[in-house]
Structure 1
Amino acid sequence: MDAFCHTDGFPHPFEAHMIRMVADYELVTPAFIGGADNQTGFPELRVPSIKGALRFWWRALRWRQGISVAQLREQEARLFGSADSTIGRSRVSLALTGMTPSSGAKVSKRGAKVSELFDAAGARTTQQRRQPAPGLTYLGYGLVTAKDGKLERGCLRPPLAFQLSLMFDPRERQDAKALTEQLAQAMQALGLLGGLGARSRRGFGSVALRALRIDGENAWEAPKTPGELVKRIRALHGNDTRSSDSGPTPLPEWTALSARTRHLVLVGRPDAQDGTPTHLLEQLGQELVRFRSYGRNNKILGNETPERRFADDHHLFKDVLKGKRPQTHPRRAVFGLPHNYYSSSDRKGMQVQPRAHKLDRRGSPLLVHGHRCDQTPVLVLSFLPARFLPERRNKISVARHAVPLRPDEELWRPISEFLDRVRAPSRRDHLSITDAYEVPAP
């Protein structure tokens, strides 16, 4: 079934003083993107989803410029628009172009087996496609049923090539260079580190940037090797005005690239039968299960024995079921909130979430991005530590009891340990990779 791609036109005509940027992107992992009619569950590639992702990466690149939260909000509103009548509409206009039914994307409908997601480019044999995909099921929690591995929502399957045209009004000539650089870097960050749709932080909906043109001139070309990819990611950091040799680098107030950021580039096998970013994502998901899961009946992933690195989290849950008041939160909460527990034997659960009013989520600071360098499949893991919860609202609710957030060094340790683990040569066969590069610190 061919994918439906929603193409939006520019809201106002092109004018001579406006700057036009055209980015060539490719969808490289399955994308769960809601369509204009959420009732149908039919996925679409839509401008609002892309604009939201660009805004996220624009914000992520602004911390290093030394601005405050208030300055960030003001600059974002003036560039991307605001409901405030004194600011008005967005200066940035987007349109999707260059898509045809032959562009290759297919749709997997709700109820399809998750293993169908491997069948994008003949990546799996028929027998293999009948087998479960526990890694994708784990990473796609909420999108894939754990019991039978079926999709809860329809998704777009790669590959899908598309063009994103962006026009913006610099208003003042002196703004043109700075704004062009900011928007170009946001488009690059989306295509090197990010994705679109639900569970994009877990590697779904990854889009790879292939080329970028500004006013008709080539401004950027895709890295052909993993080594070139490492350099492009490093270049995104630029000069961090907050870095200092005299003391610790401050933690960002919002999710952002900083001197504390870590990036890992995991290099797959291009000649393997399953040599796709989606296959690497499956292997990474299984590795995350090994790292995080306590297991059931002393088993994980079928017949593997669990490592039980977070047995203390399990014991905390069991103590809560016995009526004990929690004094701390599970260490795995750092991977994102809410974080739910359930005991099938007791038929009881425990929810871990932010304590603050009207704040029920905290996205994972570990972002996964699928990519291809020529024919080599790659995963990029980005750890972006930032203030975990807002100041004065930094309590976590564990079974409705408020507990303090762990200190930063202790809080972030599980993610650092996971990155160290997947970087180790001893894990390469488990991950189906040939190498792992750490992007040099900015």
Structure 2
Amino acid sequence: MGMTKLRADFSIVTPLFMGGADPQSAELRVSGMKGMLRFWWRALAWSRLKSVDQVRSEEAKIFGSTEEGQSSVKIRLLPPKKTVPIKKKSVLSYNDGTDAGEGSIYLGYGLIEANGELNRRCLGYPIEDGALELSFLPSTPEDNIKSVEAALLAMGFFGGLGSRSRKGYGSFNLKKLTRGDETDPVFISPSDKDGLKRAILNLFDPDGRYKILRYDGLPPYTAFSKMMRIDILDTSDEPLRLLNSIGDKMMEYRSYRKEKNFLDDYKLIRDALAGNVIYNHPKRSIFGLPHNYYFSSTKESAKVKPKDHERRASPLFIHIQRMNESQFAAITAIIPADF
């Protein structure tokens, strides 16, 4: 019995901030893609294994580790025919050459200055005609191969590559997944919003190809559960403009002065500054930590960060999905875990 092979044809539909040892370089790297595939594999594995030790053990058997040794899958990148590096200090722009809006700059905070200038190089969008070839050792159990298939689908629906991938940059689109010499693909990317909804539901069908059950509780790490929420939002013919519209809405929603959505958060922080013991956390923690508060009336400030850590990533994932040559959809996934 020979090796089982998968081929994952992909595109990346928003600017990609990914590089190697030189943080100012911009390149597509198979090591980073493998790392992200492992992330989505773990997200799917928890509901099945329900043990961190078992998840680590099975992940190591598939992808390799110092304890388990060699990976049972070899991953090779067939690079896109053309990538366009965008230099540092260039201004982030749409494909028509106009400067990108405040929403897309906001979602790229840290990589992009307030005036739109890039703090590091990136690869322009879209990146087309890339592929991953995955070759599994003959001894690899069928269930393990299917678990990697499912992780590729999840990565294609919700994930991205490189820095700020949770904010929609480097959105990875799985165009087609084929297995060996089989003529019928395992997966073909849907071409409209209804097809996209069906494809996501099929991934989580407990009686479907991957028999994925959603965990009934709060996972200890980012993993799919009954507490997650997935939405297909706006559509547009331009992916970065679509991402910009989400950034605009997020800025508006988070604005205390404009929307007054988080009055309780400000009261909570005022109580803390007054010396009261607080047993709760700000609702805006959903957007990640740390975040800062400043009260102009009293000149007081406060910084909220996770206990024992400097940062906590947001459980909100933003992804831009191509449906056809002229339409893209925004997908958001809230995947909560023990905070």
| Deviation larger for 307-316 or 234-243 | 234-243
- Could you list the per-position Cα deviations for residues 230-273 of structure 1 after superposition, in whole angstroms to 9, with x for gaps in the alignment? 111112213277669xxxx322222112222211112414xxxx
Which of the residues 80, 84, 90 maps onto 1:106?
84
Partner residue of 2:72?
Answer: 91
Partner residue of 1:152?
Answer: 119
Which of the residues 378, 381, 384 maps onto 2:329?
378
1:181 aligns with 2:146: yes
Match of 1:253, SS state, is coil
Partner residue of 2:227?
Answer: 260
Q: Partners of 2:214 and 2:249 in 1: how far apart?
A: 33
- Quick check: 1:237–1:258 contact (8 Å CA) kept in 2? no
| Deviation larger for 50-59 or 232-241 | 232-241
Q: Partners of 2:306 and 2:21 in 1: how far apart?
A: 30
Partner residue of 1:312?
Answer: 264
Which of the residues 24, 31, 40 maps onto 1:57?
40
Match of 1:382, SS state, is strand
- Quick check: 1:267–1:376 contact (8 Å CA) kept in 2? no
Q: Partners of 1:149 and 1:220 in 2: how far apart?
A: 37
1:362 aligns with 2:315: no
Match of 1:354, SS state, is coil
- Could you list the per-position Cα deviations for residues 395-421 of structure 1 after superposition, in whole angstroms to 9, with x for gaps in the alignment? xxxxxxxxxxxxxxxxxxxxxxxxxxx
Q: Partners of 1:152 and 1:344 in 2: how far apart?
A: 30
**1:211 CA displacement:** 0.7
Instruction: Say how many residue pairs are matched.
Output: 330
How large is the Cα RMSD of the aligned pairs?
A: 2.3
**1:349 CA displacement:** 4.5
**1:348 CA displacement:** 6.6
AA aligned to 2:217 is: P
AA aligned to 1:32 is: F
- Quick check: 1:254–1:386 contact (8 Å CA) kept in 2? yes
Partner residue of 1:433?
Answer: none
Match of 2:336, SS state, is coil
Partner residue of 1:235?
Answer: 202
Partner residue of 2:292?
Answer: 340
**1:216 CA displacement:** 2.6
- Could you list the per-position Cα deviations for residues 80-118 of structure 1 after superposition, in whole angstroms to 9, with x for gaps in the alignment? 11122xx11222211111522xx3x3222222223x2x1
- Quick check: 2:289–2:305 contact (8 Å CA) kept in 1? yes
| Deviation larger for 337-346 or 309-318 | 337-346
Match of 1:264, SS state, is strand
1:285 aligns with 2:247: yes
Match of 2:292, SS state, is strand
Change in 2 beyond 3 A, CA 1:214/1:93: same
Match of 2:186, SS state, is strand
Q: Partners of 2:113 and 2:154 in 1: how far apart?
A: 31
**1:329 CA displacement:** 2.8
Match of 1:71, SS state, is helix
**1:341 CA displacement:** 3.6
Partner residue of 2:10?
Answer: 25
AA aligned to 1:368 is: I
AA aligned to 1:222 is: S
**1:319 CA displacement:** 5.8
- Quick check: 1:237–1:257 contact (8 Å CA) kept in 2? no
What aligned pairs does 1:43-82 form with structure 2 within 5 A after superposition? 43-82=26-65
- Could you list the per-position Cα deviations for residues 171-229 of structure 1 after superposition, in whole angstroms to 9, with x for gaps in the alignment? 25xx1x21221111111111111100111111111011111111132222111111111
Larger Rg: 1
Kindly, what percent of the aligned residue pairs are identical? 37
